[in-house]
C-alpha cells in the first residue's frame, strides 16, 4: 500500500477516523500505518507526506505500478483522473457530503468506463433533472480544536456517517482487484448514498445506483482519446504538434 497525506491528526479528525486520541499530533500517514500493521503485521506500506498538486517524479516512481488508486480527498479528481486513465490504472473517487448527510463513490476502469471528467459531467446533467438539486446543504468551516465558551458548534460528520461511504469504497476496490472485466461491466460504478432524508434522497439510508450504461466519452476529451483529440482539435499531426511545442519551449 501507499498512503499519501500531508496532514497531522487533530482532535476534529478523531470524530471520523480509524485512529484515536492517542494518535493526535502524529502525521495521519504514520498513525494509519501503525493501525494497519496492528491488523496485519506483514503489510508493506510506503508513505508520502505531501499534498499532491502535481505528480512529481518522486510520486510517480512510487505509484506508477499501482493496481488501483483511491482518491479519498474529495478533491484532486482531475489530477488523479488524468494520471490513472493515461496509464490504464483503475481509480476510485469517494467523498462524504457536508455534515455526513450522505456521500458518493465513483469508480473508473479505463477499459470499461469513460474518464472521471466525462462521467462527472454526464452525472451532473442527470442530476439537473432532479427537483431538489439546489437544496444541497452548504459546508461550514469550524476549528473543533478551539471551542469558545457559549459558542454553538455544528455537529461534524461522524465516523458512523462516513463508514457507509468507506464500506462502499472498500467493496468497489476489492471487486476491481479480484473480479474479471466481464463481471465488472455489470457492477454499478457510481453510487450515491444518503444517511438522511435530504437533498435528492427521499428517505434516510437511501442508496442510488446511477445507470451509466449510456455514458460515453466526449469526442473532444483529451483524457479519453489521448493525443488523437489534440491532433483533431489543432488540425496537426503528431510531428507538427511536437515541433510547435518546442517552438513554445514546452518540454
**pLDDT tens across 111-128, in order?**
999 999 999 999 999 998
**Cα dist. 164→62, 95, 210 in Å?**
29, 11, 17
Domain chopping of the chain, boundaries: 52-137+155-215, 219-251
pLDDT score, position 12: 76
Strand, helix or coil at 104? Answer: strand
Residue 37 has a CB neighbour count (10 Å cut-off) of 13
**Residue in the structure block whose three cell numbers are 508493506:** 44
In this structure, what are the phi and psi dihedrals at residue 2, rounded to the nearest 5 degrees? -125, 125
Is residue 249 over pLDDT 60? no
pLDDT in tens, 132-156: 777 888 766 566 555 555 555 555 6
Name the fold adopted by 52-137+155-215: Rossmann fold (3.40.50)
| pLDDT score, position 247 | 64
Q: Comparing C-alpha atoms, which of 84, 13, 37, 165 is closest to residue 47? A: 37
Comparison of pLDDT for 150 and 25, the residue scoring more: 25
Query: Which residues share a beta bridge with 3?
Result: 47
Is the per-residue pLDDT at 243 higher than 80? Answer: no
Rounded to 5°, angle at Cα 130 from 126 and 132: 140
Cα–Cα nearest to 189, from 161, 208, 204: 208
How many CB atoms are closer than 10 A to CB 168?
21
Instruction: Output the pTM of the full model.
Output: 0.84
Whole-angstrom distance, CA of residue 219 vs CA of residue 210: 22
Reported as a single tens digit per residue, the pLDDT across 68-86 is 999 998 888 999 999 999 9
pLDDT reported for residue 99: 82
Please give the pLDDT value at position 251: 42
39-50 residue pLDDT tens: 999 999 999 999
Tell me the average pLDDT of the chain. 87
- The residue behind cell 501507499 is 2
Nearest alpha carbon to residue 171 among 68, 63, 18: 68
Q: What is the pLDDT of residue 250?
A: 44
Amino acid at each position: 500500500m501507499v498512503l499519501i497525506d500531508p496532514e497531522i491528526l487533530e482532535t476534529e479528525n478523531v470524530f471520523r477516523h480509524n485512529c484515536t486520541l492517542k494518535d493526535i499530533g502524529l502525521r495521519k500517514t504514520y498513525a494509519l500505518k501503525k493501525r494497519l500493521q496492528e491488523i496485519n503485521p506483514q503489510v508493506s506500506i510506503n508513505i508520502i507526506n505531501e499534498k499532491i498538486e502535481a505528480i512529481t517524479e518522486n510520486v510517480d516512481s512510487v505509484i506508477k505500478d499501482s493496481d488501483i488508486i483511491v482518491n479519498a480527498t474529495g478533491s484532486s479528481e482531475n489530477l488523479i483522473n488524468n494520471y490513472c486513465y493515461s496509464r490504464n490504472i483503475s481509480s476510485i473517487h469517494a467523498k462524504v457530503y457536508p455534515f455526513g448527510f450522505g456521500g458518493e463513490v465513483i469508480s473508473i476502469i479505463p477499459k470499461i468506463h469513460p474518464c472521471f471528467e466525462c462521467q462527472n459531467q454526464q452525472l451532473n446533467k442527470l442530476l439537473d433533472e432532479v427537483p431538489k438539486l439546489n437544496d444541497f446543504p452548504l459546508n461550514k468551516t469550524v476549528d473543533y480544536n478551539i471551542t469558545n465558551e457559549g459558542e454553538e458548534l455544528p455537529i461534524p460528520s461522524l465516523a458512523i456517517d462516513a463508514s457507509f461511504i468507506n464500506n462502499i469504497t472498500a467493496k468497489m476496490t476489492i471487486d476491481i482487484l479480484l473480479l474479471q472485466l466481464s463481471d465488472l461491466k455489470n457492477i454499478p460504478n457510481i453510487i450515491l448514498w444518503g444517511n438522511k432524508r435530504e437533498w435528492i434522497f427521499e428517505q434516510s439510508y437511501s442508496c442510488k445506483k446511477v445507470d451509466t450504461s449510456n455514458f460515453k466519452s466526449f469526442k473532444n476529451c483529451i483524457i479519453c482519446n489521448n493525443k488523437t483529440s489534440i491532433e483533431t482539435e489543432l488540425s496537426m499531426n503528431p510531428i507538427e504538434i511536437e515541433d510547435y511545442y518546442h517552438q513554445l519551449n514546452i518540454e
